[in-house]
Chain A
Amino acid sequence: MAAHPASPSSAAGEERRERLSLDQLQRIVGVDHVRAARLEDAIDGVIPHWVAEPASIEEAGGLLALAREVDAAVAPRGAGTMLGVGNPPARLDLILSMTRMNRVLEHAAGDLVARLEAGVRLEDAHAVFRQAGQWLPLDPPQPGATVGGAIAANAFGPHRLRYGTMRDLLIGMTYILPDGTVARAGGKVVKNVAGYDLCKLFTGSLGTLGIIAEAIVRLHPLPAASRTVTLRRQGSDYETLAAAAHAILHSSLVPGTILFRLTPRAHLLIALFEGVEPGVLAQAGAAADLLRPYGDVSVEADGWDATSERTPDWTLEWVEAIVELTISAPPADLGLVAAEVASAVGKGAEWYATCYAGIGITRVSLSGDAAMLISIVRRLRERVAGRGATVVITQAPPVVKAAIDSWGVGGDALPLMRRVKERFDPAGILNPGRFVGGI
């Protein structure tokens, strides 16, 4: 018999009624695949009662239908690498883990298309596709991320500049509505405008509309060669850094990515070029020439080996951060955003940031006292609001999330978004309260 964990946290500390019984859950997934939740299963300090791991669409659908029947709140989970996104769940009874649904169902190499179960880890998929000289060019912030999680959280990394996110790579899916209904959208071909684009609707929807069970993705050829051009500078003149990036972005060079790595004392610009060797060499050389007036420039051949398992250090995010933010601004405002971050933080905390040039997104990692971090986020939001930028908390301890909304914005489309949510999840059992506007 599975023991209960210490009473799950709730606002007033009162007993939470258990809506799901172990018995019911075991009947769907088997005795070995449901257990009592532990402390580490908490999402923003909210511990569910159970964690269940279905092996198939039928089992996952069964779990959802059951939850719907007893009005139990469900959070889908892949590898849990981006669970920090969003506000704490208003309530949570069951974590529906997708990790057992981890098969690569189909790899049509001739068509550059693959069909995957949602629980497939991106690096495992990478290993399969690599054998045919192809890849799904998505680098998530953390290793271990699953396909379904990457879709639900709209995960991305450096290669976004050239290849986009799941928004651009997902061409079809099988999904399960909160009442257990299984449906399909999109298809197996890249060019397809039949019906509504629910794949895009679900991308970034944080598991609030349905659970993605299978994903059909488009692949790209693996680049044969790569070069990394790095510009190193001291101090905090981010506008000049942005100008350097601008020079490359508005030339005819086609970088795989341009990143800034910023700390309070020094900063780097990293430009990656991938493709056939002659093209990569020529472009890296031209980029180096463009950047030289701005500081120390070096060109490395092993900065990023597209064919190796490991990505270099500078693509991994710092794991000791207390608070992580994602700031999205018009791309030309990147230098400004960086300066605002430095100014808002001041001496109040340790920080570093990664800016994705051309995309306009900055990821900031902060470490320091919770009260200080809360005021830093507030200050930052005030400062960038006028530029049409948003500051979203993607990870923070419960004490910070209790004081400040993760999303920070409303917008006039919020009522419409609520209506969309109401249609797909009328009972509000999927991740209630975690999304924008309390959805």
Chain B
Amino acid sequence: MINRERLVRRMIDALDQDSVISAHEQLRTYECDGLTSYRVIPSLVVLPQSTEDVRAAVRICRQEDVPFVARGSGTGLSGGALPVEDGVLISLARMRRILEVDLPNQRVVVEPGVINLWVTQEVSPHGYYYAPDPSSQLVCSIGGNVAENSGGAHCLKYGFTSNHVIGLEVVLPDGEVVHLGGKALDTPGYDLVGAFVGSEGTLGIATKITLRIIRKPEVVRTLLAAFGSMAEAGAAVSGIIAAGILPAAVEMMDALSREAAEAAVHAGYPPDAGGLLIVELDGPAAEVEHQFGEVARICGENGCSELRLAADDEERVLMWKGRKAAFAAMGRVSPDYYVQDGVIPRTALPEVLSKIAALGAEHGLRVANVFHAGDGNLHPLVLYDGEVEGEAERAERLAGQILLACLEHGGSITGEHGVGFDKKRYMPDMFSATDLAVMQLLRCAFDPDHRCNPGKIFPTPRLCGEVPGPYRQHPLEKAGLAERM
């Protein structure tokens, strides 16, 4: 049992009164992140304002042997910031300064609580932007992006967060502060920046992040293409890729998601389209014009019933509005929904879409499909009514079946939302026990006492005192006491 009073006192002494939340009602604000189906009230919430504060908080947790969870904006969709019972929640929301803008080197150094879009806003007047653009970029934090290795619609061409983080200052779970990478590339030693990004807050807390910014493209061209069916839309995407074109973004929506989005934001999407494509090309003008012609031709060859070109920025924003509002818009057609984040090889798209439709029918639930067609990242939205007995459970089962279908086709259980708490039960379907045990060797190097965001990613924690080697059953597992969810 933790000595909560002592913990609170020590935190207040080390940080200050205003940085510590201990009143029950206030703690409830932090009981979940964007995944609201799981809630755990933390023992305590602290809001550090500096690296020193974070360090002090982590050290106290270590001395009191208390687990801790870091949280950015709390917009994550896999429960990565779900607090741990009797643990401390460390919110980075107050560390929100852009520390340095270095245009000649194309680097921006930020604190973890800085909102994703602020980085682009800061450098945009000079002709630069920060490429990773998750749909939540108006509210999600860079620290959270680092934890999840966030992508976004434009990651097909421009990469993910890990391709844009060059350096990190990290507070390790024992309170040590280390500097990984820097402004220069290829810092001698292991690529711990690469290992840290996407580690879902289980290896430490990033307190300074050096980002890479890139030049804005000369032109951006966005088109909307309507097809009679998803199959035709998918074939068009394959055709575009086969023609050697790498669009900046390729998004696909099915009839159900299109209807919902239209009802919500009135983007003016073509009615009756069985499959809708949004294709965005960017780059030097002459290259984009040429590619644009090719894309239009390929869409036509694949049964495109209507092709629209955004004439200006306003029209472009409107085209995207519907797609970006798709999740939220589901509220129009269903009381509840469950969003999944599976990835499949692009060529498996037609098969997997059929499978999803079949599974939906089997479970008696509708599934709307919105996805990043360019990289095979699906976001099936399983629609259900929580008020109806058993429907929530059925929806979760269906979502799980969809993930397994993705794995059957050589894909992944998560393209951008992370494993977190939500998907750890599927990790053994994607990786062998040995794979997972070896992966955890990394965590043992960073967090041997398993105090940093425990209970995330891996269904079976590895005891770090173990002799490394071929997977051995955890003693609790052997005794039948541990859940292999």
Contacts and interface: CB of A to CB of B under 8 A. Distances in A.
Contact of B186 (A113, A198, A221, A328): A328
B426 to A, nearest CB: 9
Size range of the interface on B?
A: 35 or more
A177 interface: yes
Given A191-B151, A360-B184, A196 B442 contact: yes
Contacts of A252: 127, 215-218, 284
Interface in B153-192: 155-156, 159-160, 162-163, 172, 176-180, 182-192
Contacts of B216: 252
B149 A193 contact: yes
Interface string A408-439: 11011111110110111010000000011100
Interface string B85-124: 0000000000000000011111100000000000000000
A328 B184 contact: yes
A424 B287 contact: no
A5 interface: no
Contacts of B286: 278-279, 281-283
A329 B439 contact: no
Contacts of A194: 412-414, 419, 423, 427, 430-431
B189 A413 contact: yes
Given A194-B412, A282-B285, A185 B184 contact: no
A247 interface: no
Interface stretch (B250-258, B340-348, B474-482): B340-348
Contacts of A193: 148-149, 151, 160, 198, 412, 414-419
Interface in A109-150: 110-113, 133
A330 interface: yes
Contact of B192 (A192, A275, A413, A422): A413
Nearest to A242: B104
Interface string A366-398: 000000000000000000000011101000000
Interface string A179-202: 101111101111111111110110
Interface in A46-97: none
Contacts of A191: 151, 155, 160, 343, 372, 375-377, 412, 415-416
Contact of A133 (B244, B375, B436): B244
Contact of A168 (B127, B159, B182, B469): B159
Which of A189, A423, A424 has the most B CB atoms < 10 Å from its CB? A189
Interface in A321-346: 326, 328-333
Contact of B172 (A222, A416, A424): A416
B438 A181 contact: yes
A254 interface: yes
Contacts of B102: 330, 332
Contacts of A412: 177-179
B185 A361 contact: yes
B241 interface: yes
A411 B187 contact: yes
B470 A181 contact: yes
B190 A279 contact: no
B435 A279 contact: no
B104 A184 contact: no
A189 B349 CA distance: 13
A415 to B, nearest CB: 8
B198 A197 contact: yes
Interface string B265-304: 0000000000000000001111111110000000000000
Contacts of A416: 172, 176, 178, 192, 445-446
B228 interface: no
Contacts of A224: 244
A188 B195 contact: no
B441 interface: yes
B195 A422 contact: no
B172 A184 contact: no
Given A205-B190, A328-B187, A331-B106, A197 B411 contact: no
B197 interface: yes
B419 A388 contact: no
A429 to B, nearest CB: 13
Contact of A189 (B238, B344, B423): B344
A222 B176 CA distance: 46
A364 to B, nearest CB: 15
Contacts of A408: 188
Contacts, number: 269
A167 B441 CA distance: 20
A411 B345 contact: no
A332 B104 contact: yes
A407 B284 contact: no
Contacts of A249: 215
A2 B334 CA distance: 76
A107 interface: no
A108 B347 contact: yes
B188 A389 contact: no
Contacts of A349: none
B189 A417 contact: yes
A113 B188 CA distance: 29
Contacts of B423: 194
A279 B442 contact: no
A185 B446 CA distance: 19
B412 to A, nearest CB: 4
B215 A423 contact: no
B460 interface: no
B442 to A, nearest CB: 5
Nearest to B166: A330
B416 A113 contact: no
A198 B442 contact: yes
Contacts of A205: 190-191
A251 interface: yes
A203 interface: yes
Interface in B396-450: 410-419, 423, 427, 430-432, 434-436, 438-439, 441-446
Contacts of A283: 284, 286-287
Contacts of A254: 217, 283-284, 287
B194 interface: yes
A266 interface: no
B468 interface: yes
A310 interface: no
Nearest to B184: A328
A110 B346 contact: yes
Nearest to B442: A196
Contacts of B177: 412
A419 B190 CA distance: 11
A275 B457 CA distance: 40
A250 interface: yes
A423 B441 contact: yes
A268 interface: no
B139 interface: no
B190 A246 contact: no
14 contacts: A179-B469, A181-B438, A188-B410, A190-B376, A191-B412, A193-B160, A195-B427, A203-B191, A250-B103, A282-B286, A392-B188, A420-B190, A424-B441, A435-B189
The 6 closest A-B pairs by CB, nearest first: A279-B287, A200-B194, A221-B244, A282-B286, A252-B218, A332-B104
Given A133-B244, A179-B470, A330-B105, 19 more contacts: A110-B346, A111-B347, A112-B241, A164-B159, A183-B434, A187-B411, A190-B375, A191-B151, A195-B439, A197-B149, A201-B190, A201-B442, A203-B194, A280-B287, A282-B284, A328-B185, A331-B106, A419-B446, A424-B468
Interface of B: 102-107, 127, 148-149, 151, 155-156, 159-160, 162-163, 172, 176-180, 182-192, 194-195, 197-199, 215-218, 238, 241-242, 244-246, 283-291, 343-347, 372, 375-377, 410-419, 423, 427, 430-432, 434-436, 438-439, 441-446, 457, 468-470
